[in-house]
């Protein structure tokens, strides 16, 4: 390939031939992506096969979860090597073994806590598990808070209210936990990532981004943040350049280390993004990005018909700085 995406340590090559799914595995919007310790990739999607498990080279290994979800939204794999799946229409987070056995359900299926109740859950968005085993859940579409549970699913505390100040949220859309237990929240409509300790005390925030939707963090202490940034859905600036959608890497001082942008604007070609909703990486540092195309096409392209066959995820292979 003549041109890589990004720069320096965060340079990537699109892999257009990776994971050509067979026709019988109908794929919907890939709202959640997770990668296990064996580099198997889990696509949590809104099609007829909600969980599609792929090898690192893209072969379909299994599918499961059929008929179990109302609207897949977030996926994460904890230190326990179990997968946590967040269903925002069902108001639940469910823990499964990697082969699809249900181990724990947090929330009551189909029962909302009420708009801006501050209680679990009202259209929850994502989950993350700390090194100690506590489960943190972002409750974002009709709530504005984070909930902390122990490993058995017992609520320990909640924090957050609507707003723009420290510890306040305007759609907490994604959440991660680093090796030291710090909590990273993609506060989407405030265009920032807020960082908290395990008790919900505000530490700092990362700026210089636009509508962070997908979020992943690099391994170890003081990680860099890999952020899927959305375009504007407002008519007044929908066509403005350089405000997304793309995937960016930022350090904790809000410095943009790399920006994966094909310079072609939003789209569905490999190396382009439409709505980068989920991000994960494997042991080689390769990235997997899920797009929610059916849900967001009309917001990005209100006057254009969506292609009949639309790409909903892609793999980006990490390349060395010398190669880039």
CATH for 13:
2.120.10.30
Q: Residue 1: is its pLDDT beyond 50? A: no
From the list 113, 112, 119, 87, the residue with the least C-alpha distance to 102 is 87
From the list 288, 222, 230, the residue with the least C-alpha distance to 255 is 222
From the list 2, 15, 16, 27, the residue with the least C-alpha distance to 293 is 27
The predicted structure's pLDDT at residue 10: 96
Q: Residue 241: is its pLDDT beyond 90? A: no
**Domain assignment present for 18:** yes
> What is the mean pLDDT of the segment spanning 196-208?
97
From the list 158, 153, 177, the residue with the least C-alpha distance to 93 is 153
> What is the mean pLDDT of the segment spanning 199-209?
97
Q: What percent of the chain has pLDDT over 90?
A: 89
> What is the mean pLDDT of the segment spanning 5-13?
95
Which pLDDT tens digit goes with each residue over 74-117?
999 999 999 999 999 999 999 999 999 999 999 999 999 999 99
Q: Please answer whether residues 289 and 300 qualify as being in contact, where contact means their C-beta atoms are separated by less than 8 angstroms.
A: no
From the list 295, 270, 286, the residue with the least C-alpha distance to 14 is 270
How many domains are there within the chain? 1
Domain of residue 63: give its range. 5-319
**Domain assignment present for 324:** no
Which pLDDT tens digit goes with each residue over 57-74?
999 999 999 999 999 999
Which pLDDT tens digit goes with each residue over 15-64?
998 998 998 998 999 999 999 999 999 999 999 999 999 999 999 999 99
Report which of residues 237 and 158 the model is more confident about.
Answer: 158
**82/97 Cα distance (integer angstroms):** 5
Which residue, chain included where needed, has tokens 């490993």?
A: 151
**Domain assignment present for 80:** yes
- Residue 273, CA distances (Å) to 127, 177, 252, 260 in order: 23, 25, 24, 9
The predicted structure's pLDDT at residue 324: 57
What is the model's pTM? 0.96
Model confidence at 238, pLDDT cuts 50, 70, 90, reads: confident
Which pLDDT tens digit goes with each residue over 184-197?
999 999 999 999 99
Q: Residue 284: is its pLDDT beyond 50? A: yes
Which pLDDT tens digit goes with each residue over 292-310?
999 999 999 999 999 888 8
> What is the mean pLDDT of the segment spanning 126-155?
97
Tell me how crowded residue 150 is: count the other CB atoms within 10 A of its CB. Answer: 12
Burial class (CB in 10 A: 0-12, 13-18, 19+), 60: middle
**322/151 Cα distance (integer angstroms):** 44
The predicted structure's pLDDT at residue 322: 61
Which pLDDT tens digit goes with each residue over 259-270?
998 777 899 988
**Domain assignment present for 191:** yes
**Chain mean pLDDT for the chain:** 95
């Amino acid at each position: 390939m003549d041109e890589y995406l990004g720069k320096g340590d965060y340079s990537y090559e699109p892999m257009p031939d990776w994971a050509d799914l067979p026709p019988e595995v109908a794929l919907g919007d890939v709202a959640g992506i997770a990668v296990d310790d064996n580099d198997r990739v889990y696509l949590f999607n809104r099609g007829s096969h909600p969980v599609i498990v792929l090898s690192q080279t893209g072969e379909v290994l299994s599918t499961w979860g059929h008929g179990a979800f109302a609207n897949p939204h977030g996926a994460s794999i904890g230190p326990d090597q179990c997968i946590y799946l967040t269903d925002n229409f069902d108001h639940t987070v469910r823990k499964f073994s990697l082969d699809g056995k249900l181990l724990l359900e947090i929330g009551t299926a189909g029962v909302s806590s009420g708009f801006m109740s501050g209680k679990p859950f009202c259209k929850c968005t994502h989950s993350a598990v700390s090194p100690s085993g506590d489960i943190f859940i972002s409750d974002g579409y009709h709530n504005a808070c984070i909930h902390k549970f122990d490993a058995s699913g017992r609520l320990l505390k909640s924090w957050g209210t609507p707003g723009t100040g420290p510890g306040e949220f305007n759609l907490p859309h994604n959440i991660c936990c680093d090796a030291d237990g710090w909590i990273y929240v993609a506060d989407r409509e405030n265009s920032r990532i807020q960082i908290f300790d395990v008790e919900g005390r505000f530490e700092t925030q990362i700026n210089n981004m636009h509508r962070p939707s997908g979020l992943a963090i690099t391994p170890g202490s003081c990680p860099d943040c890999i952020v899927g940034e959305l375009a504007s859905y407002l008519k007044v600036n929908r066509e403005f350049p350089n405000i997304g959608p793309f995937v960016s890497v930022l350090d904790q001082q809000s410095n943009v280390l790399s920006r994966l942008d094909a310079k072609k604007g939003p789209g569905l070609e490999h190396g382009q993004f439409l709505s980068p909703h989920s991000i994960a990486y494997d042991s080689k540092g390769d990235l997997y990005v899920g797009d929610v195309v059916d849900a967001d096409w009309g917001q990005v392209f209100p006057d254009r018909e969506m292609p009949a066959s639309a790409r909903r995820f892609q793999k980006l292979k990490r390349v060395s700085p010398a190669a880039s």
